[in-house]
């Protein structure tokens, strides 16, 4: 699709870059984190600076009868923002960030990152459990649920979304919360890229900050995978409520030895409390670890730095994930993913979700979870390694899917694999809301194999198992 001729009349200095313009290519992919760039070409990119630009861009798309896509932080692994023939609204230059000390609510535009938000909140003694990687945008993160800091105990980030302002598919600006536009409020907490509108502002409930963060880590040889992971998957279920627990396999420091690390990060207000929380792991961890630490002082900033180092910029990525069935033999299901990493920069992660995975969730679209979150992150540099790395992920997931209940939107690519992303009732309700709010499929929605899911959305079924 070529830009219309003559070009439509737009407000003066409207920040649009039509396909073919000099700056277009940079605007198309310059802010996409994954360097495995898509061969998809929007009609134009609007670099919105104000809410009015978003409204104007949606009205323009309606006039031209083309689709709209959105980019907040640009961290979707599958580059969902880059869609053929759509008007891509890039929110990277639209900044709003404020905090109300009386209500403890932060008002945040979607491209604000976790690090930006927590830097501001830190000055007020508050915290928002945003994404682990510092540069993930609140927009994509919160819409898909948000597996933030200590999610296993503090719950999903979207449970702290009190309201959203939205530009609807026909260009109307509305507020959504538990009283108004409740259908969109339901969808805004778990629809991910299938949200049928553009969020311009999130209202986020914050937590008091914790003054004493400490961690403990235990590194095991690959041969000890079963010993280490059997231990921690059992211990994690009802561990201390302010402690996040993860097991990661990687090649630390790019060395030759694959290691399985069990990491506990506790958020407390005194050394004594932190020690009490971590001591249980210290006392019970299996012998034979080759490295580790106990009660290491840490901070959100330092954890962000570690995450950024593990997910380097300028690289090619392929990821997938699954919630493993609580009744499965979790250690066996994850073994291949943990012990056969395809590159030295890749890593596999098990993230403990219990006990929150066992409690009923509020009435919201996010509705898929189990005690065990498994995610595969392959990281490499050169295009000629694409097939091998993507093949490794698919090969592992073919088997894992059989033992899974579904997956998390945030680490998924619907062009490769579809599965269950919501409970049955919530999934049906979400697709109904999509159809009602955007019958023409103006907002791009889920990027499936042919990018034609439109207003219908996703089937919410395991595909490989059929």
Ligand X SMILES: Cc1cc2nc3c(=O)[nH]c(=O)nc-3n(C[C@H](O)[C@H](O)[C@H](O)COP(=O)(O)OP(=O)(O)OC[C@H]3O[C@@H](n4cnc5c(N)ncnc54)[C@H](O)[C@@H]3O)c2cc1C
| Residue 196 engages ligand X in binding (rule: CB under 6 A) | no
Tell whether residue 249 is a contact of ligand X (CB under 6 A). Answer: no
Q: Taking CB under 6 A as the rule, which mask of x and - marks residues 360-399 in contact with ligand X?
A: ----------------------------------------
Least separation in angstroms between residue 351's CB and ligand X is 9
Q: Which of 139, 163, 406, 454 binds ligand X (CB under 6 A)?
A: 139
Taking the complex as a whole, how short is the minimal distance between the CB of residue 310 and ligand X, in angstroms? Answer: 8
Give, in order, the Cα–Cα distances in Å from 167 to each of 51, 90, 113, 180, 461: 9, 14, 21, 14, 30
The tokens describing 113, both together, are 């990152």
* Residue 458 contacts ligand X per CB under 6 A: no
List the one residue from 38, 42, 129, 137 that touches ligand X (CB under 6 A). 137
- Residues 317 and 269: their CA atoms lie apart, in Å, by 37
**Is 304 among the residues that bind ligand X (CB under 6 A)?**
no
131 touching ligand X, by CB under 6 A: yes
Residues 422-451 that bind ligand X (CB under 6 A): none
User: Which one of residues 44, 66, 72, 152 is an interface residue with ligand X (CB under 6 A)?
Assistant: 72
Q: In what order do the strands lie in the sheet with 212-221?
A: 291-298, 212-221, 259-268, 243-250, 347-352, 372-380, 316-324, 404-406
- Strand bridging mode 68-71 / 87-90: parallel
Q: How far is the CB of 410 from ligand X (least distance, A)?
A: 4
Residue 206 Cα distances to 92, 118, 137, 300, 367, angstroms: 23, 10, 17, 15, 22
Contact stretch for ligand X (CB under 6 A) within 36-44, 73-81, 249-257, 265-273: 73-81
195 binds ligand X (CB under 6 A): yes
What three-state secondary structure class fits 367?
coil
Strands 347-352 and 372-380, bridge-based pairing: antiparallel
Rule CB under 6 A: say whether 28 interacts with ligand X. Answer: no
Could you tell me the smallest distance in angstroms from the CB atom of residue 447 to ligand X?
8
Helix (H, G, I), strand (E, B) or coil at 41: coil
Query: Per rule CB under 6 A, is residue 421 in the interface with ligand X?
Result: no
Comparing CA positions, the residue from 244, 256, 260, 231 lying closest to residue 348 is 260
CA distance 350 to 373: 6
# residues contacting ligand X (CB under 6 A)? 32
Do 250 and 384 contact (CB within 8 A), yes or no?
A: no
| H-run or E-run covering 272 | helix 271-284
Name which position in 38, 342, 406, 410 contacts ligand X (CB under 6 A): 410
Alpha carbon distance 339, 369 (integer Å):
24
- The gap from C-alpha 288 to its chain's centroid, in whole angstroms, comes to 34
Contact 400, 325 (CB under 8 A): no
Q: Among positive and negative, which fits the CA dihedral 128, 129, 130, 135?
A: positive
- From residue 76 to residue 115, the character string flagging contacts with ligand X as x (rule: CB under 6 A) and all else as - is xx--xx---------x------------------x-----
Interface with ligand X, residue 352, by CB under 6 A: no
Interface region with ligand X, contact rule CB under 6 A, candidates 41-49, 125-133, 209-217, 225-233: 125-133
What distance in Å separates the CA atoms of residue 375 and residue 408, rounded to the nearest whole number? 9
User: Would you say 109 or 289 has its CB closer to ligand X?
Assistant: 109
Angle (nearest 5°) at CA 98 between 95 and 103: 150
Interface residue with ligand X, options 140, 342, 406, 427 (CB under 6 A): 140
Tell whether residue 457 is a contact of ligand X (CB under 6 A): no
Shortest reach from residue 138's CB to ligand X, in Å: 7
Nearer to ligand X by Cβ, of 341 and 444: the residue is 444
Contact 336, 402 (CB under 8 A): no
Among 198, 300, 393, 431, binds ligand X (CB under 6 A): 198
How long is the chain?
A: 466
Q: Which of 73, 129, 406, 457 contacts ligand X by CB under 6 A?
A: 73
Among 16, 58, 60, 199, which residue interacts with ligand X (rule: CB under 6 A)? 199
Q: Are strands 87-90 and 44-47 parallel, antiparallel or unpaired?
A: parallel
When asked if residue 324 is in the footprint of ligand X (CB under 6 A), the reply is no
In 158-302, which ranges are E strands?
161-168, 173-176, 197-205, 207-208, 212-221, 243-250, 259-268, 291-298
Least spacing, CB of residue 271 vs ligand X, in Å: 27
Least separation in angstroms between residue 143's CB and ligand X is: 5
Contact region with ligand X (CB under 6 A), list: 63-71, 255-263, 287-295, 357-365: 63-71
Residue number with the smallest Cβ distance to ligand X: 140
- Residues near ligand X (CB under 6 A) are 33, 69-77, 80-81, 91, 110, 131-133, 136-137, 139-141, 143-144, 146-147, 193, 195, 198-199, 311, 410
């Amino acid at each position: 699709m070529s830009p219309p001729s003559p070009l439509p009349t737009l407000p003066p200095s409207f920040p649009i870059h039509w396909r073919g313009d000099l700056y277009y290519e940079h605007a198309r992919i310059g802010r996409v984190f994954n360097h495995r760039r898509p061969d998809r070409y929007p009609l134009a990119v609007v670099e919105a600076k104000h809410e009015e630009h978003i409204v104007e861009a949606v009205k323009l798309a309606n006039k031209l009868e083309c689709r709209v896509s959105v980019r907040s932080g640009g961290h979707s692994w599958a580059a969902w923002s880059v869609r053929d023939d759509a008007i891509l609204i890039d929110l990277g230059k639209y900044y709003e960030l404020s905090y109300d000390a009386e209500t403890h609510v932060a008002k945040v535009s979607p491209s604000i990152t976790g690090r930006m938000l927590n830097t501001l909140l830190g000055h007020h003694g508050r915290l928002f459990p945003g994404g682990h990687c510092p540069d993930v945008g609140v927009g994509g993160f919160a819409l898909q649920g948000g597996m933030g800091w200590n999610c296993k105990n503090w719950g999903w980030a979207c449970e702290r979304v009190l309201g959203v302002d939205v530009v609807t598919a026909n260009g109307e600006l509305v507020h959504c919360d538990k009283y108004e536009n409740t259908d969109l409020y339901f969808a805004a907490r778990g629809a991910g890229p299938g949200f049928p509108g553009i969020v311009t502002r999130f209202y986020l409930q914050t937590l008091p900050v914790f003054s004493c963060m400490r961690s403990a880590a235990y590194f095991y040889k690959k041969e000890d995978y079963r010993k280490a992971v059997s231990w921690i998957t059992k211990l994690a279920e009802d561990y201390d409520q302010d402690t996040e627990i993860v097991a990661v396999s990687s090649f630390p420091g790019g060395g030759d030895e694959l290691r399985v690390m069990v990491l506990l990060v506790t958020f407390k207000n005194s050394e004594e409390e932190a020690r009490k929380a971590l001591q249980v792991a210290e006392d019970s961890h299996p012998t034979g670890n080759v490295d580790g630490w106990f009660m290491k002082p840490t901070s959100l900033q330092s954890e962000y730095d570690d995450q950024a180092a593990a997910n380097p910029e300028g690289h090619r990525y392929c990821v997938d994930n699954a919630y493993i069935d609580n009744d499965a033999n979790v250690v066996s299901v994850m073994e291949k993913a943990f012990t056969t990493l395809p590159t030295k920069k890749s890593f596999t992660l098990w993230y403990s979700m219990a006990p929150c995975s066992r409690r009923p969730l509020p009435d919201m679209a996010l509705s898929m979870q189990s005690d065990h979150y498994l995610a595969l992150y392959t990281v490499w540099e050169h295009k000629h390694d694409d097939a091998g790395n993507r093949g490794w992920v698919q090969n592992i997931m073919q088997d894992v899917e059989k033992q899974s209940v579904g997956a998390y939107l945030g680490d998924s690519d619907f062009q490769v694999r579809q599965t269950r992303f919501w409970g049955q009732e919530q999934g049906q309700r979400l697709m109904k809301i999509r159809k009602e709010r955007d019958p023409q499929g103006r907002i791009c929605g889920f990027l499936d194999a042919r990018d034609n899911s439109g207003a219908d959305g996703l089937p919410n079924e395991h595909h490989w198992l059929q």
